[in-house]
Amino acid sequence: MAEPLSANALPNRRSFPPLECSPAATMPLPPPPPAALHLPVRVSLVSPLPLPASRCSTYGFPSATPRRLAVCPLLSVRRGRRLGAPLRAARGEGEGPEGSEEELRRLLELLPGELRRRVEGHPELPALVEVVMDLGRPPLARFPSGDFLLSHSPISFDDLRHATSQVGDFGADNRAGISRTLHRISAIRNRKGAIIGLTCRVGRAVPGSANLLQDLVKDGGSLLLIGPPGVGKTTVIREIARMLADDYKKRVMIVDTSNEIGGDGDIPHPGIGNARRLQVPNQDMQHKVLIEAVENHMPQAIVIDEIGTKLEAMAASTIAQRGIQLVATAHGITIENLIMNPSLDLLVGGVQSVTLGDEEANRRGVQKTVLERKGPSTFTCAAEIVSKTEVRVHRSLEDTVDALLAGKMPNVEIRKFGSKGSVQEVYVQKERLHLGPSEGAAQLNPDSLSNARRSLDSAFNLDSVEGHIGRSTEAEPGLNLYAYGAILDLGVDCLASH
């Protein structure tokens, strides 16, 4: 067996004499390092977004703030993007920049090259409303600030053929769309059926556009949206459908008449989330598709846009009686428009004339012939959409209708987005005013309803009370103002003067 090598026999090994140290000369040992802090780390394959220069220090790292330590820039940016969605919605901006820009580009491809370049060079391009092309007239692009003339040259048949060749088939309602987008192309035809004009409206999915109505949607009651054309009813109802399906995990079916909610094509737009869609082949069959959605697909909520006929109102009433949450829009500006509409008054319970006895008339202080609600309302609550940032909420639609028929001012909540995207609420409760026998609401006429509406507007206009409301900040999400006293007296005087 080979003998082990000694230390002196090892190559390149230097030996040193042992050191002799006294206890007094021994150097003190450094303190042990602190225990390591183990933090969970999430690794993402997505490249982090660049931070603005104001958030970076000299060495390129995020600068520390007094409130929160910027540990993970990627998570901070993502969180900020999620929180910024309602703010963009309040200001009328689109959802993601990539999706909205791509969809807008597909709409602009309908225009000839020179017109497309003119639109793309406009400073308000992200807020484009629609493009109008009529045969023999100069084309127009409509923005929130007004109309913009694209060219002095009139539109020709070739321009219209170029546009119609890139969209889907026009239905009986003269509407078409672009697949996987929310844009709506409406045609104007001559007496022979040839297309002589196009209205190319931009459709956008705006996250957070239904935040003003979130509590009503969460309660599970049926909701009716009323508003003039172009105020954003379809945008709000699309976001409500996504909210019901994704946030509240309900089985949602959308009855899409003109593919405005879910977009054109067989595959719905991602703006509706996990909600499912039933397309209506013909507008006259919409009431049948409503019943089909209930009987075949077992939904918990049904969303429908533009109830306009008596058959559709009857179908909606049948659905509401089956315990299904119904969210719909209707033609009209205010609740009074539905009461005076013989085709849609069923949505608010219907109106009938009732003859009272002498004792009952004296007890109520009204004439013997009065108008009353015929039955239960189809919808639990209603919202009048005044603009993209303001709504008027009627929490109990039946109470509102009863008050209007009795000549009283209904309770209403006025809600609006604040300057920084926060929800700012103004609660206004009006006292029920009993009119004398000579002023009783025996006849429901447009003059009396419009007078009551003007009194409501003048007494509780947001512009008149805005000076008493402090602007909401990010730390204060909303401000409630309970209006009584002087403002209420003003409303009483206005109503009494009429």
Kind of pairing between the strands at 252-256 and 276-279: parallel
CB 333 within 8 A of CB 228: yes
Query: What CATH number is given to the structural domain containing 236?
Result: 3.40.50.300
* Pair (185, 283) in one structural domain: no
pLDDT score, position 360: 82
- Residues 332, 231 share a domain: yes
Domain assignment present for 331: yes
Encode pLDDT of 194-241 as tens digits.
Answer: 999 999 999 999 889 999 999 999 999 999 999 988 888 999 999 999
| Residue-range definition of the domain harbouring residue 131 | 99-201
**Which candidate, 296, 294, 241, places its Cα nearest to that of 263?**
241
Q: What is the pLDDT of residue 331?
A: 80
Residue 400 lies in a domain: yes
Give dist(CA 106, CA 131) in Å, integer: 13
**CA-to-CA separations, 106 to 177, 183, 357, in angstroms, rounded:** 11, 9, 66
Q: Is residue 141 part of a domain?
A: yes
Among the three residues 201, 227, 260, which one is the final residue of a domain in this structure? 201
What is the predicted pLDDT for the residue at 423? Answer: 61
pLDDT number for residue 328: 96
Query: 330 and 217 in one domain?
Result: yes
Q: Which of 183, 201, 219 finishes a domain?
A: 201
In terms of domains, do 196 and 215 share one? no
Q: Are residues 154 and 240 in the same domain?
A: no
In a domain, 299, yes or no: yes
Number of domains present in the structure of the chain: 2
Residues 111 and 231 placed together within one structural domain of the fold: no
CB proximity list for 196: less than 8 A, separation 6 or greater? 134, 135, 160, 188, 189, 190
Domain identity same for 322 and 356: yes
For residue 458, is it within any domain? Answer: no
- Rounded to the nearest integer, the mean pLDDT of the chain is 74
pTM above 0.75, yes or no: no
On whether residue 382 sits in a domain, the answer given is: yes
Same domain, residue pair 311 and 421? yes
Q: Which residues contact 65 (CB under 8 A, 6 or more apart)?
A: none
Q: Look at residue 62 and tell me if it is in a domain.
A: no
Residues 174 and 268 occupy one common structural domain: no
Residues 146 and 236 in one domain: no
Residue with tokens 């220090």: 57
First to last CA, the chain: 124
- Please identify every stretch of the chain with a pLDDT value under 50, giving residue numbers as ranges: 1-2, 5-16, 19-26, 37-97, 429-444, 446, 448, 452, 455-498
What CATH number is attached to the domain comprising 140?
A: 3.30.450.90
Whether residue 278 sits in one domain with residue 155: no
Domain closes at, from 148, 175, 201: 201
Both 235 and 361 in one domain: the answer is: yes
User: Mind giving me the DSSP string for 320-377?
Assistant: HHTT-EEEEEEEBSSHHHHHT-TTTGGGGT-EEEEEPPHHHHHHHTS-SEEEEE-S--
Q: Is residue 184 part of a domain?
A: yes
Residue 159: in which H helix or E strand, if any?
A: helix 157-164
pLDDT in the model for residue 376 = 92
